Structures are given as C-alpha cells and as structure tokens.
Structure 1
Amino acid sequence: MYLKNPTEIEKKSFEIIGGNLKGLFKDKELKVVMRMIHTTGDYDYENIVVFKNNPVESGLQTLKKGTKIFTDTRMAYSGINKRKLKELSCEIDCFIDSEETFKRAKEEDITRSMASVDIAVGLGYEVFVIGNAPTALFRLIEHINKGNIKPNLVIGVPVGFVGAEESKEELRKVEVPQITTVGTKGGSNVAAAILNSIIYMVG
C-alpha cells in the first residue's frame, strides 16, 4: 500500500523532514527551509541557506500590501502559486522572452537576463526571484549599489559553476532583505519554493 492523497503525501513528507532537522532556525525561517528540502529532496539546504535582514518578515509584509514580483526564468514563474498571488493582489512577471528584452540585450551587448532585470528595476518591482542566471543577480546588485532600487526581498539562489556562487557572495554584501544559498546549489525550483513558502504563510 502507498499514499495516494496529495495532501496526505505532503503532510507526511513535512513530518519526515521535520524529524530530521537540527532545529537551528526560527519558526518562519524553518518553514522556508523545509519547503526547500521538500522540493529538492536534499537535506543539505539546511546547512547552506542564509537569511539576512529579516527577509521572511519583509516578504510577508510586502505580499500583504500587494506588490510586483520579478522572476528570471519561465521555470521559476511556472512554479510559483499565481492563484494565491492573485488573492493577495500581487503581480508576477518574467521578461526573459519579451520583445523589449531581446532589443535591449542586442543593443547593449548584454545577456537577456541582465536586460530583463533592467526592465523590472525601471518598473519599480519590489521582489526579485532569481534562481538561474548569475548575470541577473549581478545586474540587480549593480542597480542596488547605484541607488536605483532597494528591493523589499531578493531570493537569490542561482545554480551552477560559472558565477553562481560568486553572485550570491556579492549579494550577501548588500544590505537588503535576502535569502541565498552558499555554494553552487540552487535553481529555479528552489527559488519558486522559497517564495511559495512565504506566500503560504500569508494565508
């Protein structure tokens, strides 16, 4: 016999995860960590996630008032609960395949990920969810350091071996509410899981 009810499967999964953690996080942060592990099946996220400047609380307050959310990939966009966001009067967008992004990237000789961040900054987005492109995160950091924007939450978890680790290290030098991972692990699925965990805490 095996579980077939999705709700029961998720409940059992979180019970198993909770029973195997060291319990090093505050309640709201713990919920984020557990969903990261639930999404990946990897307990190492407990050891490599970094919370800085009360990101969960800042994210909760921002979502409650309604906000605009940027994602760097369609995969992250697809994994985020848009029905819940609509209930909260929040917008979510991904500009990676927009005509304006292609145009800017070509004209300025930059990546589409960088161009899409430029668009979001220009439109005053408050939450940035970056799980794939280090260049997107580096570009966002440049805008923050120039004073162009001060996000209420940055989820910066690019995955990979070229620039991913370094971009997250640079983000941790910036004084904005943020959730990052140390090292090469991360990804669009992890980024979506982090935002979803905060969305579900709003209610």
Structure 2
Amino acid sequence: MKPMDIEKESFAIIEKELTTDIPAEYKPVVKRVIHTTADFSYETSMTFSKGVIEEALKAIREGVDIVTDTNMAKSGISHKMAEKFSCSLNCYMADSDVASEAAKREVTRATVSVEKAAKDNPDCIMVVGNAPT
C-alpha cells in the first residue's frame, strides 16, 4: 500500500470512529490531532476560540511566522506550504541561549524557547508539539 493510501485509510477509519458532531471548520484539525496522537479523547476535549480557523488561515496567507516548541513539531509542518505563503518556520529549543537560560533558571528548555518565541515573534502562530514538559 502506498503511503498516501495508508494516510487516506487512516483518516477514513478516524472519521468512522468519531461519535460527536464536530463543526466542519474544526473537523480537519481534530482528525489530524487524533491521527498524530492515536488518542480519540481529543474528539471531545479540544476547544476552539471563535473565528480561530479563519484568523489562522488569514495569518498564513499573510506570511505569519510559525514557531514550534519542538523540532519534531516543526518537521511535521509542510515546508513547501510554508514557503508558498512566505511563512518562516522556527524552533528555538536547540538554541544555545535557550539552553544556558534554562540551566541558569533551572527550568526546561521548552519553557525558555516558548518565552523566546513570544518575545521575538509576538504575532506568530505557536505550534505546541510533544515536549514532555
């Protein structure tokens, strides 16, 4: 089976297993999160701010910076699509200043990398991935 066929089948299985009526604009996001995590509890636990999808799409079309808390999350974003819309993809987790600040304050690098993102890119889209802290 081809990789795209596997993904298509996976999403079909997820769709079949959903038990709640998820609004159409949120459903692709919920399905992607379930696909990524294999955790169907997201079907009922995810919440969305009013207008968030439209605002996110608008920001992407305008070339917003996208910052992730992990390199794994960054690798899961289509670099081709980011380039198409002139969106930069950034992750500060491995930056030396992040590591030294985290050690100095005795906090996680994830904490410092998110703080750096908020300071350097206040209007970014922040993607939270799988940092264990």
Instruction: Give 2:126's aligned residue.
Output: 128
* Aligned-partner SS, 1:70: strand
Contact 2:72 2:129 (C-alpha < 8 Å) held by counterparts: no
1:93 aligns with 2:77: no
1:18 aligns with 2:38: no
1:50 aligns with 2:47: yes
Identity of aligned residues (%): 34
TM-score by length of 1: 0.57
RMSD of the alignment, in Å? 2.1
**Equivalent residues in 2 for 1:39-118, closer than 5 Å:** 39-118=36-115
* Aligned-partner SS, 1:80: coil
Q: Following the alignment from structure 2 to structure 1, what is the Cα–Cα distance between the partners of residues 2 and 102?
A: 46
Gaps of 5+ in 2: none
Kindly provide the CA deviation profile for residues 100-158 of structure 1, in whole angstroms up to 9, marking residues without a partner as x: 2123334444432222223212222411112345xxxxxxxxxxxxxxxxxxxxxxxxx
Q: How many residues matched?
A: 132
Shift of 1:60: 1.0
Shift of the 28–108 alpha-carbon distance from structure 1 to 2, 3 Å rule, reads same
Shift of the 38–106 alpha-carbon distance from structure 1 to 2, 3 Å rule, reads closer
TM-score by length of 2: 0.83
Q: Following the alignment from structure 2 to structure 1, what is the Cα–Cα distance between the partners of residues 95 and 36?
A: 28
Contact 2:74 2:90 (C-alpha < 8 Å) held by counterparts: yes
Shift of 1:95: 0.7
Gaps of 5+ in 1: 134-158, 165-203
- Whichever residue aligns with residue 12 of structure 1, its letter is E
Shift of 1:23: 4.3
Q: Following the alignment from structure 1 to structure 2, what is the Cα–Cα distance between the partners of residues 53 and 67?
A: 20
Shift of the 53–94 alpha-carbon distance from structure 1 to 2, 3 Å rule, reads same
Higher normalized strand content (fraction of residues) = 1
Q: Following the alignment from structure 2 to structure 1, what is the Cα–Cα distance between the partners of residues 83 and 91?
A: 16
